[in-house]
Amino acid sequence: MPSPLGHALGGLIVGLALAPSSAPGESSAQRRGAHTSWSVIGYAIVCSGAACLPDIDFAWGRHNMETHSVAFALLTGSAAWWWWRSWRLAAACMLAGLTHVLFDWLGSDDFPPLGVMALWPISQAFYFAEAYVFATISRRYWLPGFWSHNLWSVLRELAILMPIAVLAHHCRRRRGMTGPRASA
């Protein structure tokens, strides 16, 4: 299962991909400027938080269960819509929550039950891809190799997700500069 950093990067990718190209009233000169508009920063922060939110279940000892589901992602999107009244941000939060489910499904798991309860409440089955894209983040700090294993796992996540985040940022910047709202 990925680290909180890996999950936050998943949310960041969604936030960068779905943030509006520009803030209302923003000129093309401002879009090309050094400062990023609040909407992009806001989407990045909110979506990163939404992607990490399913791990709140550590608080009550039911990790990878109900909060690691499509239903919880829908609930997260609904809460975002209720709070901000933005369908675009609500969809981004829902997709960010789904990245958490996807990443945990694609990751390694060393603590039973293996996998995630992705289709809860329809099914209580656990789903595990056995793809091992992401390495397990150990919470057993007393075991030898704890630090080196977790460092390696986080570096692997960064190697996989940072290029995608950079690509999302690059595509977003190009879309903002050459989109239909850009003026000469």
Domain boundaries in the chain? 4-178
pLDDT score for 173: 84
pLDDT score for 128: 95
Q: How far is CA 74 from CA 51, 80, 92, in A?
A: 12, 10, 11
Q: Is 26 left (phi over 0), alpha (psi -120 to 50) or beta?
A: beta
3-class secondary-structure state, position 107 = strand
pLDDT score for 184: 41
Q: Is the CB of residue 18 less than 8 Å from the CB of residue 95?
A: yes
Q: For residue 77, give the amino acid letter.
A: G
DSSP state of 127: B
Residue 9 is inside which H or E element, if any?
A: helix 4-18
CB atoms within 10 A of CB 136: 17
Question: Which of the four pLDDT bands, split at 50, 70 and 90, describes residue 30?
Answer: low
Rounded CA-CA distance 112/134 in Å is 17
Rounded CA-CA distance 122/15 in Å is 28
Q: For residue 29, give the amino acid letter.
A: A
Question: Which of the four pLDDT bands, split at 50, 70 and 90, describes residue 178?
Answer: low
pLDDT score for 91: 97
- pLDDT single digits (tens) 103-143: 999 999 888 889 999 999 999 999 999 999 999 999 889 99
Rounded CA-CA distance 75/50 in Å is 11
Mean pLDDT of the chain: 89
pLDDT score for 21: 75
38-60 mean pLDDT: 94
pLDDT score for 109: 84
Q: Where are the beta strands (DSSP E) in the chain?
A: none
**pLDDT of 35 strictly over 90:** no
